[in-house]
Amino acid sequence: MIELNENKISKPHVVVVPYPSQGHINPLLQFAKRLASKGVKATLATTKQTMGSISSLRDVAVEAISDGFDDQGPPKVGSEDVFLNSFKSNGSSSLARIIESYQNTTFPVTCVVYDAFLPWALDVAKDYGLLGAAFFTNAAAVCAIFCCVGNGLIELPLRPVEVGCALPKMPLFKGNDLPTFLRKPESYPAYLAMKLRQFSNVDLADWIFCNSFEDLELEITEGIFEKWPAKLIGPMVPSSYLDGRIEGDIGYGASLWKPLSEKCKEWLQNKPKKSVIYISFGSMVSLTQEQMEEIAWALKQSNYYFLWVVRDSQASKLPKEFLEDVEITQKGMVVTWCNQLEVLAHEATACFVTHCGWNSTLEGLSLGVPMVGVPQWSDQLPDAKFIEEVWGVGVWAKEDDKGVVRKEHLSECLKEVMEGERSEEIRENALKWKELSKKAVSDGGSSDNHVEDFVEHLKCTSFSTKKPNGSLVS
């Protein structure tokens, strides 16, 4: 059983369990590093398939957790239910083994911090009498909308008027800027179910964390915290780009792709300040060939310097003539991957063309880079809305009735951010959010205070850890 003890334990032990994709591993690993910097023993429990992507970490241990596909890799797209059910079964038993392996050591496990996509991890923590903390990797505003749906306050398919009634502080939504899972629930049923399962047992969690910060979203989500009492502890971006309080923290420490940062860095060094457009659509988005061609010709038409990250699986969609033109003019560079944080932080970078995934959005905000949003699905659409309408750090390049952002419109958006009437205002807003991001995680900032409260709670809690059958662990 858990009880408060006036005699603080010296070093609590937290096991952090991310969903096994780049956009989930990075923020949870960063949280583990934050905890370790505050005197907590932190262990990352990740799948065997993703363990190889994690570089040697000075202060965070790494343990393998099974998803049931350890040797052959996860099933193909379209088998999400199979993967999630397998991960629940195999992950629960392997997480239990990790907890038990530490019980007779100097640092028995105190708490499980789990990706909210994996609510079964909380069940395992409670089986052993441990604290459990849910970690949400989306914007607080998006989480609030899903929470309302999960609690029956909003019915599906989602309509803007219902969002306004349930969350009156939210900006006015239109049909096309709502999360696609909720607007068209039949489109991705497995993912929708996973999103809603985040709230299935969250009321049993001792803590709820969200990778955002109060200055960015607190007013927007006001009114939802009674049902979803989250502490905003972000942005979970490596410390060297924000407060600098974690020594040597220059990257997340996990990458499922090999970066070409040196090649990118050398190319950027020769470009004027604030002259380069950086384009990246993350690790999951797959654009159509038509969309890739429109982006390519928009970049040529705009005539700005550009650095475009195109994964190997997407490279064949680029027009041959475009690649030949890039080679001749030297106006751009196309790479398979690079260190995004280094590029965004570079003085040559002026604009970030992004799919508006939450991690990329937070990185753009934290490094003060104006953005052009080209969202594709799910929470990327409301993120793009906030980038343009609420935070004022960029513009949203809208699709036509065929679902494609045309080169003429994208060119206009690039020009607006780079040198248009609103460009100065956008740059000023971007710098403002950069400073507020840094303030949130610095000593005494709102996010740092929430993390400190969590650490103090861990240190003030003593345990008589039990096995699932109710007997105490010796």
Q: With cut-offs at 50, 70 and 90, classify the pLDDT of residue 149.
A: very high
Give the residue-averaged pLDDT of 133-158.
Answer: 94
Give the per-residue pLDDT at 20. Answer: 92
More confident residue, 303 or 222: 303
pLDDT at 175 over 50: yes
The CATH class for the domain spanning 9-253+443-461 reads alpha beta
pLDDT at 1 over 50: no
pLDDT digits (tens, 9 = 90+) for 15-55: 999 999 989 999 999 999 999 999 999 999 999 888 877 87
Structure tokens at 97: 């083994």
Q: Whole-prediction pTM value?
A: 0.93
From the candidates 59, 70, 81, 115, give the one annotated as an active-site residue.
115
Per domain, the residue ranges of the chain are 9-253+443-461, 261-435
Closest residue by Cα to residue 388 from 398, 401, 399, 379: 398
Q: With cut-offs at 50, 70 and 90, classify the pLDDT of residue 469.
A: low
Give the per-residue pLDDT at 463. Answer: 58
pLDDT at 97 over 70: yes
From the candidates 24, 346, 355, 450, give the one annotated as an active-site residue.
24
Q: What SS3 string covers the chain? A: CEEECCCCCCCCEEEEECCCCHHHHHHHHHHHHHHHHCCCEEEEEEEHHHHCCECCCCCEEEEEECCCCCCCCCCCCCCHHHHHHHHHHHHHHHHHHHHHHHCCCCCCCCEEEEECCCCHHHHHHHHCCCEEEEEECCCHHHHHHHHHHHCCCCCCCCCHHHHHHHCCCCCCCCHHHCCHHHHCCCCCHHHHHHHHHCCCCHHHCCEEEECCCHHHHHHHHCCCCCCCCCEECCCCCCHHHCCCCCCCCCCCCECCCCCCHHHHHHHHHCCCCCCEEEEECCCCCCCCHHHHHHHHHHHHHHCCEEEEECCHHHHHHCCHHHHHHHHHHCCEEEECCCCHHHHHHCCCEEEEEECCCHHHHHHHHHCCCCEEECCCCCCHHHHHHHHHHHCCCEEECCCCCCCCCCHHHHHHHHHHHHHCCCHHHHHHHHHHHHHHHHHHHCCCCHHHHHHHHHHHHHHCEEECCECCCCCECC
pLDDT digits (tens, 9 = 90+) for 279-290: 999 878 889 999
Give the per-residue pLDDT at 78. Answer: 58
Give the per-residue pLDDT at 466. Answer: 62
Distance CA 208, CA 224 (A): 13
**What percent of the chain lies above the pLDDT cut of 90?**
72
pLDDT digits (tens, 9 = 90+) for 333-376: 999 988 899 999 999 999 999 999 999 999 999 999 999 999 99
- In sequence order, the β-bridge partners of residue 472 are 466
Give the residue-averaged pLDDT of 194-199.
Answer: 93
Give the per-residue pLDDT at 80. Answer: 77
Distance CA 474, CA 467 (A): 10
pLDDT digits (tens, 9 = 90+) for 399-437: 999 999 999 999 999 999 999 999 999 999 999 999 999
pLDDT digits (tens, 9 = 90+) for 237-269: 999 999 999 988 888 876 655 555 678 888 999
Distances (CA, A) of 147 to 136, 356, 380, 391, 466: 11, 21, 17, 23, 32
Distance CA 170, CA 383 (A): 13
Q: With cut-offs at 50, 70 and 90, classify the pLDDT of residue 4.
A: very low
Give the residue-averaged pLDDT of 113-127.
Answer: 98
Q: At what angle do helices 446-459 and 423-441 cross, to 10 degrees?
A: 20
Domain topology for 261-435: Rossmann fold (3.40.50)
Radius of gyration of the chain (CA): 22
Q: At what angle do helices 289-302 and 407-419 cross, to 10 degrees?
A: 40
Annotated active-site residue 127? The verdict is no
Annotated active-site residue 24? The verdict is yes
* Domains 9-253+443-461 and 261-435 are alike in CATH topology: yes
Give the per-residue pLDDT at 256. Answer: 53
Mean pLDDT value across the chain = 91
Query: Which pairs from 371-377 meet CB under 8 Å and 24+ separation?
Result: 371/395, 371/417, 371/430, 372/396, 372/397, 372/410, 372/413, 372/414, 372/417, 373/397, 374/281, 374/295, 374/405, 374/410, 376/281, 376/285, 376/287, 377/180, 377/188
Distance CA 424, CA 337 (A): 30
Structure tokens at 474: 């010796």
